[in-house]
């Protein structure tokens, strides 16, 4: 999409919240939990937040750090900030002290809207006197440890429910999203007001065919780019409903909500689909009959998990790939045209290339670096011009992912560039090894990483989580190695198998292989 395809002035709060509130004020926007909230009520709450921010002298370009669970308050804080031209900065409300110190110090927030459940970690990270206005939501009686803060209910009570949106352009900054941290310290990606419009048109409407009668439910939380679309601006773009769950994600709770609330579009990540299948073995009454579309992103969806899910629920999973830098999914499978193991083809409005290290296109079946382009691409990394110039190559964004494209135009994920292994002089994708490991009947989760031996040669180490109740042993490790050796060429077979109770993951479900690499060296 080019500039002339956008209106001169555009504000995401007006488009995604005010417009549906005007067309159907009494329609449910948030089904739960814990209660229903209609579009008019949500729009008025966002206006109160915007006016309260203005009273704190927060204006255009100022950052508003939002550490709230999925809730009406989160959505109101997000759109209230955007409506006045400020920049919403949503972060994990279950983060740790060092994370809050990084987020706050990096973005330079003028206002922090914090849930009481995050207060203790926030105080440990920043102390009692951060140079910002702090608003406390949740438990209004929470002990603040000397931190001077405003109470949410008092803060918004005197604010008007009417608010004229700032005259923002499509190219003004609207939100700052931090990358997941799967490779280390998160970076802040700045997105403009137009970006949500592009993503909702290309993926939500053209690929998923979302309509006003849909109810979306996302396992990924709102602070994450994937969840923000799934559970907020995608359904709001068509006047649909969203189902929110503010508590920490638990498989049994998600299964209960799906069975009793009947969402029509379900979003999760591969590790959660694997956990859901394990839960289905114990909970035979799990009901997914209301779901017409199941979507996966974050990392590639193993074929084994796809096939097991399809057999159990008679439902295909649409695998795709997106990124914080592109805001949402840019490669996706299509309903009725899934090719297991593939991320599909470019989403409408996006283009993709696979290039070598010199930026030259490679042929079908050759592994290379994935570059993508689309109008939802981030404007820049916050305060990191050198990193921005490395990742943005003109109209193209270098994703840092290794891919193969087949002759039919389907894209296959091979792994992050930093996760690739060179064994016996040949490149090995950890994804290929992990997919085979997951085919073993006793393996629930797996990750493959490299370690350097005493001779300076790379060896592959597999970290394995066994099915519930099982314990690892030297004999089982050798059985698993033999299982892989029977299915892959010798240099791809793990030299060692290590058992663990869980794999290190980001809050969004991505495996942190860099932590496993450190463990493999020990």
DSSP string, 181-214: -TTSS--EEEEEHHHHHHHIIIIIITTS---TT-
Q: Rounded to 5, what percent of the chain is helix, strand, coil? A: 35, 25, 40
Domains and CATH numbers, the chain: 7-27+37-190 (3.40.50.980), 194-416 (3.40.50.12780), 420-520 (3.30.300.30)
Render 215-268 in DSSP notation, one character per residue: EEEESS-TTSHHHHIIIIIHHHHTT-EEE---SPP-HHHHHHHHHHH--SEEEE
Residue 508 confidence (pLDDT): 67
**Cβ(172)–Cβ(149) below 8 Å:** no
Q: What b/e readout covers 143-161, taking b as 16+ CB neighbours within 10 angstroms?
A: ebeebebbbbeebbeebee
pTM of the complete model: 0.85
Does residue 33 have a cis bond before it (omega within 30 degrees)?
yes
Residue 180 confidence (pLDDT): 72
Q: Helices 430-438 and 303-313 sit at what angle, rounded to 10 degrees?
A: 40
Burial (CB < 10 A; 0-12, 13-18, 19+), residue 501, is exposed
How far apart, in whole angstroms, are the C-alpha atoms of residue 175 and residue 382? 11
Q: With a cut of 50, which residues of the chain have pLDDT below it?
A: 1
User: For residue 132, how many C-alpha atoms fall within 13 Å in the half-sphere facing its CB?
Assistant: 25
Residue 1 confidence (pLDDT): 43
């Amino acid at each position: 999409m080019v500039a002339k395809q956008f209106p001169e002035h555009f504000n995401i709060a007006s488009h995604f919240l005010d417009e549906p509130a005007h067309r159907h004020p009494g329609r449910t926007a948030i089904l739960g939990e814990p209660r229903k909230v209609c579009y008019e009520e949500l729009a008025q709450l966002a206006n109160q937040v915007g006016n309260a921010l203005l009273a704190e002298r927060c204006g255009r370009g100022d950052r508003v750090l939002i550490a709230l669970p999925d809730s009406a308050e989160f959505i109101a804080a997000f759109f209230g900030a955007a409506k006045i031209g400020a920049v919403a900065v949503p972060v994990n409300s279950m983060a740790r002290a060092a994370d809050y110190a990084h987020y706050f110090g990096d973005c330079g927030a003028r206002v922090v809207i914090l849930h009481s459940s995050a207060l203790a970690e926030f105080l440990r990270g920043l102390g009692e006197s951060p140079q910002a206005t702090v608003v406390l939501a949740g438990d209004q009686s929470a002990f603040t440890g000397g931190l001077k803060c405003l109470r949410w209910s008092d803060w918004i009570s005197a604010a008007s429910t009417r608010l004229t949106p700032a005259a923002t352009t499509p190219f003004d900054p609207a939100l700052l999203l931090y990358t997941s941290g799967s490779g280390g310290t998160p970076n802040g990606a700045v997105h403009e007001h137009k970006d949500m419009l592009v993503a909702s048109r290309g993926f939500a409407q053209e690929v998923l065919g979302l309509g006003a009668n849909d109810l979306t439910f996302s396992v990924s939380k709102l602070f994450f780019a994937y969840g923000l679309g799934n559970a907020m601006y995608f359904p709001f773009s068509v006047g649909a409903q969203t189902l929110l769950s503010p508590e920490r994600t638990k498989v049994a709770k998600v299964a209960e909500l799906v069975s009793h609330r009947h969402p029509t579009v379900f979003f999760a990540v591969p590790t959660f689909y694997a956990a859901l299948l394990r839960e289905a073995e114990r909970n035979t009454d799990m009901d997914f009959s209301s779901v017409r579309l199941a979507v996966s992103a974050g990392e590639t969806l193993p074929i084994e998990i796809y096939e097991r899910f399809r057999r159990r629920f008679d439902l295909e999973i649409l695998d795709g790939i997106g990124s914080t830098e592109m805001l949402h999914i840019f490669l996706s499978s299509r309903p009725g045209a899934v090719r297991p193991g593939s991320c599909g083809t470019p989403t409408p409005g996006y283009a993709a290339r696979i290039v070598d290290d010199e930026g030259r296109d490679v042929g079908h079946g050759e592994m290379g670096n994935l570059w993508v382009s689309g109008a939802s691409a981030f404007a820049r990394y916050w305060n990191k011009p050198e990193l921005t110039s490395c990742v943005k190559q003109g109209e193209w964004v270098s994703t840092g992912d290794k891919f193969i494209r087949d002759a039919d135009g389907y894209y296959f994920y091979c792994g992050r560039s930093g996760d690739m292994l060179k064994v016996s002089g040949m490149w090995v994708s950890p994804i290929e090894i992990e997919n085979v490991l997951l085919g073993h009947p006793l393996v629930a989760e797996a990750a493959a990483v490299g370690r350097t031996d005493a001779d300076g040669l790379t060896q592959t180490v597999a970290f394995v989580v066994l099915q519930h109740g099982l314990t690892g042993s030297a004999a089982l490790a050798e059985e698993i190695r033999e299982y892989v050796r029977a299915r892959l060429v010798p240099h791809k077979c793990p030299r060692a198998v290590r058992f663990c109770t869980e794999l290190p993951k980001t809050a969004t479900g991505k495996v942190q292989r860099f932590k496993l690499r450190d463990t493999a060296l020990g």
